[in-house]
């Protein structure tokens, strides 16, 4: 099928490359000439597994680049809108880019064309796109508007696209669902997976071919917002539970295992940490809350999800203080700046927030991230130093903080790390290690929702000066974060 994708950002680029790999003829349209030129030269603007090879495979063949929206729409049977929908000051989505695309393609529709929302948009957007197109001269009957939300995670977006749990198609007419069925047929029939060049199935992906869930356009729009809100709620829920674990001296990892094995709940998105970030959850929660408000509903559950998420960063900061007593003048290694592992994206990254807060408190930061350092340098204070690997970052530091769940941070050479540091103190915001393994190598190990692990010969009384963290006695591998356990307090 001949397909135009408007917007060559993260969603558009991945969608375009993957649709070309499925065998479609794709034109990627953008009004940013510099971006088009860089893509044309073979540069890949985002850090995404398999994307460079898909772009190299199809660029100039089944994947063309263009700055001419009207001409691209004219020669396409389907037009995906994948432009940005940034939040406004009030938190709702700014749909002016979507509107301008709808306006610009109205005059180019000369045979039946399906316009598909791919960007995350509030419910009713498809109605608005339709109205704008009719107002600008598109003929009713010559086009339909459908919603096909994406569920791609950064870092694994290509395999998420090609091996999805489900494909949601929101369409209100038979011709529009037929077009979307045809677009995804190589996946739903399994044909793509038999091709020798197919991107390999990632570990953990479903064996079955993906199903197409056909809904109304409004339902599809809501599915996207509700999915992201639910996942964010799961994270905030487990973060709140982890705080209870710290207070009573329980282990959140064991609690997660116990609840995650219930098939109604499931183990995924139950990793506690320093809170969710990124360009999606924070923005989508605000937008969903706004949509609910406009419909007259005060969706307070979302307020609480957001509040717990913000509190989680502050709680971590208090934990660093409780580990180090004072922060001024302390040299701290920071592993991880991206909002999660596997990406160079630092948007709404809790790690960036924490580095800024620590610098403000007078700490000296030496950071390392496998991919996000160039972007982080643009926003972090000039005083932050950067290392070329975790061991260089750890050289002579008072403590090391783990802020992003990069796989390589879970496989550090612990004796080498301990040897590099001035004091072997690790404050892990992502729970990448277990206490006993850390104390064995001489580390005092703070994590989230679990007891602070202290090597036997280091178990000394410590007084905390941190509000909300009580003075306590650190016990070898048996204590919550600077807080006496409930049993101990009762005793």
Active-site residues: which are they? 280
- Binding part of the chain for ligand UGA, among 26-34, 66-74, 121-129, 264-272 by CB under 6 A, reads 264-272
Out of 22, 152, 199, 393, name the contact with ligand UGA by CB under 6 A. 152
Rounded to the nearest 10°, the torsion over CA 106, 108, 110, 116 is: -60
- Binding part of the chain for ligand UGA, among 121-129, 148-156, 324-332, 408-416 by CB under 6 A, reads 148-156
CA distance 49 to 53: 9
**Pairing verdict, β 331-335 and 143-147:** unpaired
Tokens representing 357 are: 């807060």
**217-248 vs 125-135: helix axis angle to the nearest 10?**
150
Identify each DSSP E strand in 372-488 by its residue range. 385-386, 399-402, 425-428, 444-446, 461-462, 472-473
Which residue is associated with the tokens 């099928």? 1
CA distance 99 to 134: 12
Q: Rule CB under 6 A: say whether 150 interacts with ligand UGA.
A: yes
Strand order in the sheet with 364-368: 385-386, 364-368, 331-335, 399-402, 425-428, 444-446
User: Nearest distance from residue 407's CB to ligand UGA, in Å?
Assistant: 13
Of residues 91 through 120, those in contact with ligand UGA by CB under 6 A are: 120
Of 123 and 397, nearer to ligand UGA (C-beta) is 123
Of 12 and 484, nearer to ligand UGA (C-beta) is 12
**Pairing verdict, β 425-428 and 444-446:** parallel
SS3 of residue 115 by DSSP = strand
Helices vs strands, H then E, count in the chain: 18, 16
Residues in the chain: 491
Running DSSP on this structure, what letter comes out for residue 453?
Answer: B
Of 117 and 154, nearer to ligand UGA (C-beta) is 154
Of residues 204 through 243, those in contact with ligand UGA by CB under 6 A are: 228, 231, 235
- Binding part of the chain for ligand UGA, among 13-21, 87-95, 145-153, 179-187 by CB under 6 A, reads 145-153
Of 404 and 472, nearer to ligand UGA (C-beta) is 404
Running DSSP on this structure, what letter comes out for residue 444?
Answer: E
Q: Rule CB under 6 A: say whether 20 interacts with ligand UGA.
A: no
Site string for ligand UGA, 429-448 (x = CB under 6 A): --------------------
Tokens representing 419 are: 């040897």
User: Nearest distance from residue 257's CB to ligand UGA, in Å?
Assistant: 13
User: Nearest distance from residue 274's CB to ligand UGA, in Å?
Assistant: 7
Q: Rule CB under 6 A: say whether 346 interacts with ligand UGA.
A: no
Out of 25, 48, 154, 344, name the contact with ligand UGA by CB under 6 A. 154
Q: Rule CB under 6 A: say whether 322 interacts with ligand UGA.
A: no
How many residues touch ligand UGA under the rule CB under 6 A: the total is 22
Of 56 and 226, nearer to ligand UGA (C-beta) is 226
CA distance 445 to 437: 10
Residues that bind ligand UGA (CB under 6 A): 120, 150-154, 228, 231, 235, 269-271, 273, 276-278, 280-281, 284, 339-340, 405
């Amino acid at each position: 099928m001949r397909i135009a994708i408007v917007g060559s950002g993260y969603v558009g680029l991945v969608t375009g490359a993957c649709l070309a790999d499925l065998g479609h003829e794709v034109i990627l349209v953008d009004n940013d000439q510099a971006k088009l030129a860089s893509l044309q030269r073979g540069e890949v603007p985002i850090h995404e597994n398999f994307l460079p090879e898909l772009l190299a495979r199809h660029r100039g063949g089944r994947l063309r680049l263009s700055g001419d929206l009207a001409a691209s729409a004219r020669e396409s049977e389907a037009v995906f809108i994948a432009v940005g929908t940034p939040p406004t000051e009030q938190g709702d989505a700014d749909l002016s880019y979507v509107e301008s695309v709808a306006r610009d393609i109205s005059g180019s529709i000369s045979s039946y064309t399906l316009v598909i929302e791919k960007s995350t948009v509030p419910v009713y957007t498809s109605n608005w796109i339709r109205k704008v197109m009719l107002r600008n001269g598109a003929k009713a009957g010559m086009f339909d508007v459908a919603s096909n939300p994406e569920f791609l995670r950064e870092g694994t977006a290509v395999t998420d696209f090609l091996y999805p749990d489900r494909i949601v198609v929101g369409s209100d007419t038979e011709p529009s669902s037929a077009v979307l069925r045809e677009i995804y047929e190589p996946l739903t029939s399994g044909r793509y997976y038999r091709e020798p060049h197919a991107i390999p199935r990632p570990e953990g992906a479903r064996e079955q071919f993906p199903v197409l869930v056909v809904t109304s356009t409004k339902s599809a729009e809501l599915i996207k917002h509700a999915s992201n809100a639910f996942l964010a709620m799961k994270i905030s829920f487990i973060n709140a539970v982890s705080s209870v674990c710290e207070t009573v001296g329980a282990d959140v990892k064991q609690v997660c295992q116990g609840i995650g094995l219930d098939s109604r709940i499931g183990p995924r998105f139950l990793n506690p940490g320093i809170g969710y970030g990124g360009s999606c959850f924070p923005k989508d929660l605000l937008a969903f809350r706004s949509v609910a408000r406009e419909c007259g509903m005060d969706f307070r559950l979302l307020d609480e999800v957001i509040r717990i998420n913000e509190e989680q960063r502050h709680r971590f900061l208090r934990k660093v203080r409780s580990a180090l007593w004072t922060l001024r003048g302390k040299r701290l290694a920071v592993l991880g700046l991206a909002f999660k592992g596997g990406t160079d994206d630092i948007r709404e990254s809790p790690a960036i927030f924490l580095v800024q807060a620590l610098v403000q408190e007078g700490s000296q930061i030496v950071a390392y991230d496998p991919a996000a350092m160039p972007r982080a340098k643009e926003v972090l204070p000039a005083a932050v130093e950067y290392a070329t690997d975790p061991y260089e970052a750890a050289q002579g530091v008072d403590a090391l903080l783990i802020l992003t769940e990069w796989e390589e941070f879970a496989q550090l050479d612990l004796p080498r790390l301990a040897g590099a540091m001035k004091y072997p103190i690790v404050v892990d915001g992502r729970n990448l290690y277990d206490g006993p393994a850390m104390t064995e190598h001489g580390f005092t190990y703070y994590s989230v929702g679990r007891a602070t692990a202290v090597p036997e010969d280091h178990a000394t009384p410590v007084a905390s000066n941190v509000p909300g963290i009580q003075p306590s006695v650190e016990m070898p591998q048996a204590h919550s974060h600077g807080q006496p356990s409930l049993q101990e307090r009762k005793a």
